[in-house]
Structure 1
Amino acid sequence: MWFLGSYFILTNLGVPVQQAWPDALAFTGVFLVILFILELVFGFYIPQGKNTWLLVVIPVLLSFIAVFAHKLIMKWVFGDQLDYLNVLDTGFYLRWAILAVPAVLIAIIALVVSKLEQQGESQKREAAISELAREAELMQIRQQLQPHFLFNSLNSISALVVAKPQKAREMVLQLSDFLRGTIRKDHQEWVVLEEELNYLRMYLDIERVRFGHRLQVKINVTEEVKSVRLPQLLIQPLLENAIKHGLYGLTGEVEIKLEAFTETNYVYIKVQNPFDPESAVSSGAGFGLNSVKRRLELLFGRTDLLSSVAKEGEFLVTLKIPQIK
């Protein structure tokens, strides 16, 4: 296009064909050389701040050198053609302007492209840092869950050692089985509900050693729901919270209900327990619910997946888990 445009202009100015096409070819050659040099210069250095004037000066200077070199070459080739030499002299500044304008535009485009690339790289770095921070916080929450449960269990074992040593030994063995299974699968973020229920039953066996016949848990889960997937150890803090709310401040047997079902693209898990409104233990969400809520926020970027309500001596926690296709 540059060659055809130059050739068309020269022929319209009356330059003979035998001189117009070599001139247009040479002018196209110096234009390509300028493009190559500008690519090299601005590929290694992009003027910033106060040095942005170089975006104009460098292309203009290169254009002048290129037009001057073109003029010398064409005078050497057609040194005896006075009419053509006159066209070269009179059209020098016009050629310079024609060459300088696209060269400056190319330099500006190079700056814009560089800025966009830097912005893209910056966004990628920020996204990577954000993802690393998210994963680190998720790992920290998962690591906090077991020590929190472990400390409670160890305190219970300590209380049973003297009064009921056989119960203490039983609880140690059950705790060992529970931790062996959960720690081995710590790298898994998602598990099927059936597998999660198996660990919940192990956890409840440990808690029954502490509370005996007082702790009654009713699990209502249909067969088709058992195959759905959910983040590992997401329900255990809810059960622990229910036991804390239900068995402290109340006497006699306490029934905790766990229900799981699917609806549209969600798995609903409801945990219900009685509680004493006058008990200080029942106030506040505590570590369990807060950890689950934060974990859901990190996994799904939503804060509406966990809700709780206390009404007429019953505390109900509802968990919604989106099913990823």
Structure 2
Amino acid sequence: MFLNVFSNPRLGKWIIPGAGIIWFLGCFLLLRYEGLELEEAFTDAFFLAVGFIGGVGILDQVFSLYSPQGRNLWLVFLLPVLLSLLLVISHRYLLTWWFSEEDFYLEHLNNSFYLRWAVLAMAEQFVALLALVVSKLERQEELSRREAQMLELSKEAELAQLRQQLQPHFLFNSLNSINALVVAQPHKAREMVLLLSDFLRGTIRKDIQKWEVLAQELSYLKMYLDIERVRFGHRLSVEFFIGDEADTAKIPPLLIQPLVENAIKHGLYGVTGEVKIEIDCRKEGGYLIILVKNPFDPTYVGLEGTGFGLSSVERRLYLLFGRKDLIQTTNSNGFFEVQIKIPQYL
């Protein structure tokens, strides 16, 4: 709508009549100042106000069906001029008939014809330009709102896609391990199937939009580690360091698991003997800091993975917070560390 601001049920109810009253009072006082009688001034001002209100209504109807843009903006200037000319001519003929015997008034009416036209045309053009600005601002606001909605929907879709990737990624690794244990150690294969069933039952229906407290998230992480211990036995050792008040901090669901899975993959492959993975969680300022540390042999050449673990966490943090500085990795002295920071102000 071009003049939607004036035809809005709540605003138009007061703006159009209010503008008409102001126009009537201004014309009435001016005509009285020029020496017209009370009846003449009142009637003249009344019909001018009716014409002004009618012109606004006509512009509203015309431009609500067609909004001029680009080269057609000249219509914003031409239509008010033509419309005001038609209204002034109609006003002149009507009052000439109404006060046909009032010579002084008729002379005044004829002499002020062009002045009336110019003033009414300027007023109508001002209304049209004001409505044009309001219309453009409303369209820009609507466009920004739609872009924000599309961006939010896109984020939600990508987060859902990452979630759908996470479960099969872990599930395929577990099934491969079960397959390897079926013949050599069938009892461990059965144990792993039961643990995997319990883990999936608790995590597969998680709402990725609903955050968990850290304590709850770590309970699912420990279920995952129980599954991995079936694979690696005594070689896998995990130590937790939970700082004060950290266990009540909020965290997106299943955010730590890819980091630990990555640590197990790169920590146990290529390293002989027992491997200890450290998980340190603490609150610092307005952030929950999570550090995952594992031994790492840079000289070992093993099977390359998809790189899904770290990349999925980095992408999720960016989608949630719009920042790329919330994850850091370091590799020194035979240890690989991943640190993530989760803002707690949301």
Partner of 1:173: 194
Percent identity, aligned pairs only? 56
**TM-score normalized with structure 2 length:** 0.90
Is the partner of 1:260 in helix, strand or coil? Answer: strand
Tell me the C-alpha RMSD between the 2 structures.
Answer: 1.8
Q: Which amino acid aligns with 2:67?
A: I
Aligned to 1:298, which of 319, 329, 332? 319
> How do 1:207-286 and structure 2 match up within 5 A?
207-222=228-243, 224-281=245-302, 286=307
Is the partner of 1:184 in helix, strand or coil? Answer: coil
Aligned to 1:68, which of 75, 79, 89? 89
Partner of 1:95: 116
Q: CA deviation at 1:46?
A: 1.2
**TM-score normalized with structure 1 length:** 0.95
> How do 1:3-152 and structure 2 match up within 5 A?
3-152=24-173
CA contact (8 A) 1:276 1:282 kept: no
Q: Which amino acid aligns with 1:122?
A: L
Q: Which amino acid aligns with 2:31?
A: L
Give the Cα separation in 1 of the matches to 2:284 and 2:111: 82
Give the Cα separation in 2 of the matches to 1:15 and 1:281: 102
Give a deviation string over 1:89-130, Cα, whole Å, max 9, x none: 111111001100111121122222222222222111111111
Unaligned runs of 5+ in 2: 1-21
Q: CA deviation at 1:187?
A: 4.8
Give the Cα separation in 2 of the matches to 1:169 and 1:18: 103
Q: CA deviation at 1:224?
A: 2.6
Partner of 2:17: none
Give a deviation string over 1:34-57, Cα, whole Å, max 9, x none: 112112222232122332222122
Per the alignment, do residues 281 and 296 of structure 1 end up closer, same or farther by CA in structure 2, a change over 3 Å counting?
Answer: farther
Paired positions, count: 325
Give the Cα separation in 1 of the matches to 2:119 and 2:282: 73
Q: Point out the more displaced range, 37-46 or 283-292.
A: 283-292
Per the alignment, do residues 106 and 125 of structure 1 end up closer, same or farther by CA in structure 2, a change over 3 Å counting?
Answer: same
CA contact (8 A) 1:245 1:282 kept: no
Per the alignment, do residues 187 and 286 of structure 1 end up closer, same or farther by CA in structure 2, a change over 3 Å counting?
Answer: closer
Give the Cα separation in 1 of the matches to 2:303 and 2:119: 81
CA contact (8 A) 1:46 1:114 kept: no
Q: CA deviation at 1:4?
A: 2.7
CA contact (8 A) 2:208 2:252 kept: no
Q: CA deviation at 1:77?
A: 1.8
Unaligned runs of 5+ in 1: none
Q: Which amino acid aligns with 1:203?
A: Y
